[in-house]
Amino acid sequence: EVQLVESGGGLVPPGGSLRLSCAAPGFTLSNFWMIWIRQAPGKGLQWVANIKQDGSEKYYVDSVKGRFTISRDNAKNSMYLQMNSLRAEDTAVYYCARDRDFYENKISYDAFDMWGQGTRVTVSS
Amino acid sequence: AIQMTQSPSSLSASVGDRVTITCRASQGIRNDLGWYQQKPGKAPKLLIYAASYLHSGVPSRFSGSGSGTDFTLTISSLQPEDFGTYYCLQDYNYPRTFGQGTKVEIK
């Protein structure tokens, strides 16, 4: 079954660091933009960052700029999120997702068609 | 950042009912909008992309419409398995932004 598998979550004190990983055992990750999305406890979804197929473009939500870094290793078929200077408000389940292109009438649209199961990050002393 | 506002925040409906969820963007986003369903403790699933195209494997009772700033997700005949929270997402520009979600409960 095609899937995404996140790992690396855990409990970390404020100011600490954590590195999340996202593996794609069932497809070639290098063909897709990839995304990190998070969900704080009892809250809605928040897009965090994404990265182009070759890593040449990266975008972040303002609240994580300068603290989080998205990266990928296509040779390992994996994507990462390095999270530094963590704050209590970063506490969330972090999902990785695949951004797939859909073509309708020769126009390309993208949407997140595959998601991992999520990894929980708790920032607390 | 573009703000996405969904309404209602929650609803309760009976099996067989027609259910409509709306999503309004703070500025025009063409048809760069998707709809996602999330069940408790699970990852979201894609339902609709480009505002109106049904993702493969999604039941035909789901449909989407709209363009510009106003969008609608419709469930033509609510089924027991349709409980969960529904989110719209704009992919017009960065940062991508989700609506706050609409929780659907079955009466």
**Which of B5, B46, B67, B88 is the best mutation test for A, with the most CBs of A within 10 A?**
B46
CB nearest to A104's CB, from B50, B95, B96: B50
Chain A residue nearest residue B54, CA to CA: A102
Average pLDDT, integer, range B57-72: 98
Q: pLDDT tens for residues B28-60? A: 999 999 999 999 999 999 999 999 999 999 999
Chain A residue nearest residue B2, CA to CA: A61
CB nearest to A102's CB, from B36, B50, B97: B50
CA distances from A99 to A30, B66, B70, B81 (A): 11, 22, 23, 26
Nearest alpha carbon to residue A73 among A22, A117, A114: A22
Is A116 part of the contact surface with chain B (CB cutoff 8 Å)?
yes
**C-alpha distance from B82 to closest chain A C-alpha (Å):** 18
Q: Which residue has the tokens 């497809």?
A: A27
Q: Could you read off the pLDDT tens digit of each residue along chain A, which spans 125 residues?
A: 569 999 999 999 999 999 999 999 989 999 999 999 999 999 999 999 999 999 999 999 999 999 999 999 999 999 999 999 999 999 999 999 999 999 999 999 999 999 999 999 999 99
Q: What angle do CA B25, B31, B37 make, to 5 degrees?
A: 75
- In degrees and rounded to multiples of 5, residue A31 shows phi and psi of -85, -5
DSSP string, B85-101: EEEEEE-SSSSPEE---
* Total beta-carbon pairs less than 8 A apart between chain A and chain B: 62
**What count of other Cβ atoms lies within 10 Å of the Cβ of residue A121?**
21
Q: Residue A35: what pLDDT?
A: 98
Q: Residue A26: what pLDDT?
A: 86
User: Which residues 6+ apart lie within 8 Å of A67 measured at CB?
Assistant: A83, A84, A85, A86
Helix or strand (DSSP H, E) at A36: strand A33-39
